[in-house]
Structure 1
Amino acid sequence: MKRFICVISALFILSIAHQSFGQLEKGTFLVGGSMDFGKVDGEYSKSNSYLAQSGISSKIFNFNISPDVSYLVIDRLSIGIMLPTSYRIEEFDGDKTKRFKFSIEPRIRYYIPFGNWALFPELSYAIGKEYSRADFYSPLTGDFIEDKKLVANSNKFSFGVGLSYFITKNVGLEGTVYIDKSENKYDEDDGRLDGDITSAGFRVGLQIYLANKE
């Protein structure tokens, strides 16, 4: 009798899972977006003797909005692209810099469903441009430059783990914890050194699942 009850319970759970996660089947499009915020600690080129001697570091508060579209190439595995746009304020030895960045970021994600939830790890890589304006000291030239406008080429590798809750069959509310490793490269004429930045944070998002009806 107990074995019979266990078999019936297992079939019932599988039936619910099948009904709940049809949106994670091959051929489904995902359209949505996310917002995130986080604290960033920066490290700059080791060849920069000025920063090394002065012990200067940077603290950054970053706000990012990122629309995205993805496609499930097989069940539970999506490949897509994000268009992150960010605005941040960086405090560098007491001086503030305002930055704007736009990127193109391909992403791969795998869903592990349970109940009305789905756990997912994800990987992404972004390339983009960053525009900034600030007063800053150039260790390369020894000059203090006022209201300098800079342009940098940027790239970023990101890993995250998230959780999606399906509030309806076709709508999922997401939360993701992530860690980024990014690099900015400036033109030599700008008198600014390249920088490597590691950041961690939390973002929330919403996905709409558009199943391919055949």
Structure 2
Amino acid sequence: MTRFVKFQSILFSVVLIFMSIQHSCAQLSKGTFMMGGTLSANAKSTKERSSEWKTRSININPSLFYFVANNAAVGLITPWDYTYEKASNSKRVTTTSTYFVGPAVRYYFPFGSWAVFPTASFMHGWRTMKSGYPDYNDFPTKVKGNMNSFNGGVGITYFVAKNVGVEGVLSYQHDTATSRDDASQLSGEWKERDSSFNLSIGVQVYLSKK
């Protein structure tokens, strides 16, 4: 009798685990749409000779994914980046806005109420940089250009509800920008390259027909 009770307990535990895994996988099944995005912000100070540069930036990354197979999603992302820079010994301010659009892919490895996923994306963007003295409503320098960005990393999702997941993503990003300014002494075209590691937090909503 005791062995039978133990067997029932083990069987019940296995069934609960199986139901938990099935519950977590339901959001990641073929035919599901995933809508949401991430938000990240950064603040840093850089000393250069007699001045100190203060930089503030924010990134908003809306996304729409479709699961083409169980656990595998492809989608479209449309990030917006904004950066504010100012030197401690000057009232001159530089702001940069960049709009991106591009494809992204993810593959999920679920376990219980959690899922780990590698992710990668490639984006094309349009950038506008303004520099001047806002106290005098004077922005003498305005530069426009294009930008390509590759982003790859790994994330983790916790399903707080059946159709809602909170996620964190640690990623590496490499940017290549081409800028041009024909209205000032900086006339001409130049290229820039930049690499960074980013940590972002977001929410995703899963819409399934089932």
- Do both share a fold (TM > 0.5)? yes
Of the candidates 108, 125, 130, which is equivalent to residue 127 of structure 2?
Answer: 130
Does the Cα contact within 8 Å between 2:24 and 2:111 map onto a contact in 1? no
Query: Counterparts of 1:1-214 in structure 2 under 5 Å?
Result: 4=7, 9-38=13-42, 60-90=55-85, 96-134=93-131, 147-187=140-180, 189=182, 190-191=187-188, 193-213=190-210
Please report how far the alpha carbon of residue 191 of structure 1 lies from its aligned counterpart in structure 2 after TM superposition. Answer: 3.4
Please report how far the alpha carbon of residue 106 of structure 1 lies from its aligned counterpart in structure 2 after TM superposition. Answer: 1.0
Select the structure of larger CA radius of gyration. Answer: 2
Secondary structure of residue in 1 paired with 2:155 = strand
Count of matched residue positions in the alignment of Structure 1 and Structure 2? 191
Please report how far the alpha carbon of residue 91 of structure 1 lies from its aligned counterpart in structure 2 after TM superposition. Answer: 5.5
Partner of 1:143 in structure 2? none
Distance 1:203 1:63, change over 3 A: same
Distance 1:96 1:195, change over 3 A: farther
Structure 1 residues not aligned, in runs of 5+: 41-53, 136-145
Percent identical among aligned pairs is 32
Does the Cα contact within 8 Å between 1:26 and 1:72 map onto a contact in 2? yes
Q: TM-score, normalised by structure 2?
A: 0.78
Does the Cα contact within 8 Å between 2:24 and 2:114 map onto a contact in 1? no
Q: For residues 100-135 of structure 1, what are the alpha-carbon distances to aligned partners after superposition, in whole Å with 9 as ceiling and x for unaligned?
A: 111102110111111211111100000010001115
Matched AA of 1:168 = A
Matched AA of 1:17 = I
- Distance in 1 between the 2:34 and 2:191 partners? 36
Distance 1:107 1:6, change over 3 A: same
Distance 1:175 1:114, change over 3 A: same
Structure 2 residues not aligned, in runs of 5+: 133-138
Please report how far the alpha carbon of residue 154 of structure 1 lies from its aligned counterpart in structure 2 after TM superposition. Answer: 0.3
- Distance in 2 between the 1:11 and 1:159 partners? 36
- Distance in 2 between the 1:96 and 1:200 partners? 25
Does the Cα contact within 8 Å between 2:102 and 2:124 map onto a contact in 1? yes
Please report how far the alpha carbon of residue 202 of structure 1 lies from its aligned counterpart in structure 2 after TM superposition. Answer: 1.2
Higher relative contact order structure (alpha carbons within 8 Å, sequence separation ≥ 6)? 1
Secondary structure of residue in 2 paired with 1:21 = helix
